[in-house]
């Protein structure tokens, strides 16, 4: 009975609880450690079934924290380590009591198989029309992902047994199908119809990319690959395009594919990337976009050899363009709802042949009612380290001000000529949002402004630009400006810059 009560408490909790201390309610971990939350949740969830595997999950969490933050200078990191160390010391021996005599690698491998067969397969056979079953199954899939992640640290894929590897593939495929069947948007919050963009034949896309030739690959990541191609099909003749081919085995692939397809099919803006068409035959998930010939903004920020191609007035124009796109999403897409992008970063800002900004990657976007202050995101936190709204990370509550925070990070990236997170730094310089806020408050922005554009920035422009960027990075949402205010202030900054240049 005690175990059952403990289990219910753990499953109902949204905080990370160590020895009864829900520390995450009061302190914020750096964005680089957002992944720790799900790992600790799984450890709590499975502890009543297998304390040893729960210990291994916590140990993996500790190793991850220590690897990314060895000095523990951040207060929240220090407290997390302080909570984990004594617990791990106790559990190192106590969790071995009653455990069969086998290695930790074999123990977690056996438990992964047990978990998938007992919990996931059991829920797969349950009534899917029951919303509680769907929620539990989604959570079970997420837990399986964590367990396999921990397993991989102890046993390379090459040494996994064929049975475990096959089980993992099956779980991954069924998880993708499950996510696909749960529509990513709440139909009650949307008055829009399904995608109205053309479905492009797979053969036309193969011809366009020369059968996905590696030489045409212009980008790749966990989502899949992006290819440059020349499309000749329908009304398009020798049209230069970008083809995103999502990884069909990816856990979030289906969900992100349909979200992006839905979003870009319904909402058009001069500063949002244009979707030309899609292909979803034979389990393929392919999106075809207009081609942004100058690539993404991030490469101009971190590559010293390329940043000189963008002048300060051009950078201001890009910032105004992105802010305008966000203003459209937050306030003007429709009367009844707003769009929250949820992954604003310089890598998702593309530049066309005229250096116009094109906001892209809507796979994580969410719809919220226009008359509601926030949208509660039930799934795992999403976004990118260094850009995420700390309140969203802490509470799971997503609002349009979360986008404003992320955009504030981008504004400082532009001003400082660097990316949001630089792993080579092991001090306060690693995360730009911490560094920028500190320097702004101390009147020391001059120390971090990009030396390549510094001489071209007019003092009054800098004053207005840095002030609005700093306001975007306020810890609480109530203190952040509306995106419409950001647009106005950036346009004023650009006006001052151009007037000063004329004078």
CA distances for 364 relative to 5, 124, 254, 381, 489, angstroms: 35, 25, 11, 10, 28
Among left, alpha and beta (phi > 0; psi -120 to 50; other), residue 290 is: beta
CB 403 within 8 A of CB 392: no
CB 345 within 8 A of CB 420: yes
Which residues line the annotated binding site?
244
| Active-site position among 343, 389, 403, 450 | 343
Q: Where are the alpha helices (DSSP H) in 281-311?
A: 298-302, 304-307
Would you call 343 a catalytic residue per the annotation? yes
Please state the φ and ψ torsions of residue 367, each to the nearest 5 degrees: -100, 135
Among left, alpha and beta (phi > 0; psi -120 to 50; other), residue 181 is: alpha
Q: How far apart are CA 99 and CA 106, in angstroms?
A: 12
Which residues line the annotated binding site for ATP?
244
DSSP of 35-76, one letter per residue? THHHHHHHHHHHTTT-HHHHHHHHHHHHHHHHHH-TT--SHH
Is 173 exposed, middle or buried, given 0-12, 13-18 or 19+ CB atoms closer than 10 A? Answer: middle
Catalytic residue numbers read: 343
């Amino acid at each position: 009975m005690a175990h059952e009560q403990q289990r219910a408490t753990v499953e109902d909790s949204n905080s990370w609880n160590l020895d009864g201390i829900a520390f995450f309610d009061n302190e914020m971990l750096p964005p680089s450690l957002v992944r720790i939350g799900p790992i600790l949740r799984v450890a709590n969830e499975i502890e009543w079934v297998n304390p040893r595997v729960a210990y291994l999950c916590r140990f993996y969490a500790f190793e991850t924290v220590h690897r990314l933050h060895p000095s523990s200078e951040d207060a929240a990191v220090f407290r997390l380590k302080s909570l984990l160390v004594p617990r791990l010391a106790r559990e190192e021996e106590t969790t071995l009591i009653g455990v069969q005599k086998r290695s930790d690698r074999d123990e977690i491998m056996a438990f992964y198989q047990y978990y998938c067969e007992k919990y996931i397969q059991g829920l797969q056979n349950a009534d899917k029309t029951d919303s509680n079953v769907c929620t539990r199954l989604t959570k079970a899939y997420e837990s399986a992902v964590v367990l396999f992640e921990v397993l991989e640290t102890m046993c390379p894929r090459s040494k996994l047994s064929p049975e475990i590897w096959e089980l993992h593939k099956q779980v991954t495929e069924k998880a993708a199908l499950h996510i696909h069947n749960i529509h990513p948007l709440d139909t009650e919050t949307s008055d829009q119809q399904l995608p109205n963009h053309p479905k492009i034949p797979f053969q036309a896309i193969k011809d366009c990319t020369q059968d996905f030739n590696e030489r045409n690959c212009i980008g790749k990541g966990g989502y899949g690959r992006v290819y440059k191609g020349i499309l000749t099909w329908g009304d398009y003749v020798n049209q230069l395009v970008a083809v995103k081919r999502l990884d069909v085995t990816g856990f979030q692939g289906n969900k992100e594919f349909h979200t992006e397809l839905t979003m870009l099919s319904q909402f058009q803006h001069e500063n949002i990337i244009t979707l030309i068409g899609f292909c979803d035959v034979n389990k393929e998930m392919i999106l075809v976009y207009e081609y942004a010939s100058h690539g993404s903004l991030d490469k101009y920020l971190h590559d010293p050899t390329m940043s000189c191609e963008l002048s300060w007035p051009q950078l201001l124009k890009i910032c105004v363009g992105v802010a305008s796109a966000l203003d459209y999403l937050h306030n003007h897409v429709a009367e009844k709802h707003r769009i929250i992008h949820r992954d604003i970063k310089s890598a998702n800002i593309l530049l066309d042949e005229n250096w116009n900004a094109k906001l892209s990657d809507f796979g994580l976007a969410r719809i919220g009612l226009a008359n509601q202050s926030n949208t509660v995101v039930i799934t795992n936190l999403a976004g990118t380290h260094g850009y995420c709204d700390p309140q969203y990370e802490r509470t799971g509550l997503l609002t349009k001000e979360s986008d404003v925070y992320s955009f504030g990070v981008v504004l400082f990236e532009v001003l400082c000529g660097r990316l949001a997170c630089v792993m080579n730094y092991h001090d306060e310089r690693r995360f730009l949002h911490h560094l920028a806020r500190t320097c702004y408050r101390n009147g020391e922005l001059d120390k971090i402004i990009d030396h390549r554009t510094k001489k071209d920035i007019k003092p009054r422009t800098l004053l207005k630009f840095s002030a609005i960027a700093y306001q975007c990075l306020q810890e609480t949402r109530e203190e952040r400006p509306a995106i419409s205010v950001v647009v106005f202030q950036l346009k004023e900054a650009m006006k001052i810059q151009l007037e000063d240049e004329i004078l």
